[in-house]
A = this chain, B = another copy of it.
Amino acid sequence: MDIGDLVVFKAIAKEQSVTKAAHSLNYVQSNVTMRLKRLEKELGTPLFHRNARGMTLTSSGKTLVGYADRLLSLMTEAKQAMQGDEPRGPLTIGAIETAAAVRLPAYLTSFMRRFPAVDLTFLSGTTESLIQDVLHHRVDGAFVTGPVDHPEIDTFLFCEEELVLISDQEHSPLESFQDIHARTLVTLQAGCMFRRRVEQWLAAEGIYPKKHVEFSTLEGLIGCVKSGLGVALFARAYIEHAARGEGVHYYEIPDAFSHVSTLFICRKDEHRSKALVEWIAAIEQKKEC
């Protein structure tokens, strides 16, 4: 069943005449007749009564008018959904745990409020896995730890984090970083930039923690630090946010290792959906403030 035939059919039904329908469609009469015949043949039922003065719908024809209307309006809706200026449709964003936790929620809420037709999905991963996700189109973009330098990827600075060393308040405060020798180091799983940074720093300082425990979630990690399991490197903003800092000591570490940038990345070359364009625009606008 061809859509064009349905348009022709509707015109005939409206004009109650093949000739008039042909005029209104800027077709020749015989063409309209042929298309109607094809439609009737395909459906196996006459759609019009042929009167001497024109055409009137049969029972089947009346039924088809309803379906034709629905089909054509659904098709129009589909086109508008694809072409409309308003962003809509799915937008899948990846984020490392740390970014997802503190800075994103507020941003995300305002975006969803502004573009309610966008169907936002989030998933988390490590910087490395997210870069692969972006390259393979598994996500439209992702928040990762900088720097990222890849010929296929565009980067946008989202925020800068300062890493601090955290420990619990039950143990006596650390006198110097050398005290870490006697403590357990708690990190997220391999691949997390926080973990790589802490390893770089400790290697530079010549410090080797007594033990190493690996966690997969941020909340789990911070809970363990609080309960005295060990020390960890963490984003200051996150610690200071929402009273998560209670029961925790924190210590600044050297600048060279403390500064971590969170970037939003997406593929460079590709066509970007309206939703993604707006998402990036919102990030750049936020940076200005």
* Chain A residues at the B interface, C-beta cutoff of 8 Å: 1-3, 43-46, 49, 51, 56, 58-60, 62-64, 67-68, 70-71, 74-75, 77-79, 81-83, 88-91, 136-137, 140, 270-271, 273, 275-276
Which single member of B46, B89, B136, B137 contacts A60 (CB below 8 Å)? B89
Docked Cα-Cα span, A37 to B270, in Å, equals 16
Ranked nearest first, the 9 interchain pairs of A and B with the lowest CB-CB distance are: A67-B78, A63-B89, A59-B273, A49-B137, A43-B82, A62-B90, A46-B271, A59-B89, A56-B137
Q: Are A81 and B58 in contact (CB under 8 A)?
A: no
With A49-B137, A83-B44, A270-B49 already in contact, the answer to whether A78 and B59 are too (CB < 8 A) is no
Tell me the bound Cα distance from A59 to B92 in angstroms: 9
User: How close is A81's CB to chain B, nearest CB, in angstroms?
Assistant: 6
Give complex CA distance A74, B78 in Å.
Answer: 14
B74 close to A70 (CB less than 8 A)? yes
Structural contact, B64 and A71, CB atoms closer than 8 A: no
Bound-state CA distance A58–B68 (Å) is 29
- Taking a contact as CB atoms closer than 8 A, the residue among B1, B70, B79, B137 that contacts A1 in the complex is B79
Listed A/B pairs (17) with beta-carbon separation below 8 Å? A1-B3, A1-B79, A2-B2, A3-B3, A44-B83, A45-B82, A45-B83, A49-B137, A56-B136, A58-B271, A58-B273, A59-B89, A59-B91, A63-B89, A64-B82, A67-B77, A71-B74
With a cutoff of 8 Å between Cβ atoms, the chain B residues found around residue A71 in the complex are 71, 74-75, 78
Chain B nearest CB, measured from A44 CB (Å)? 5
Given A82-B44, A83-B43, A273-B58, verify A90-B63 contact (CB < 8 Å). yes
Q: Which of A58, A70, A275, A276 has the most CB of B within 10 A?
A: A58
* CB pair B45 A271 closer than 8 Å: yes
| Complex contact A137–B83 (CB within 8 A) | no
User: Could you tell me the distance between the alpha carbons of A79 and B71 in the complex, rounded to whole angstroms?
Assistant: 12
- Tell me the bound Cα distance from A212 to B238 in angstroms: 98
Contacts of A60 in B (CB 8 A): 82, 89, 273
Residues of B within 8 A of A82 (CB): 43-45, 60, 63-64
Other A-B contacts than A1-B79, A59-B276, A67-B75, 10 sampled, CB-CB below 8 A, are: A1-B3, A1-B78, A43-B83, A51-B137, A56-B137, A59-B90, A60-B82, A60-B273, A64-B81, A64-B82
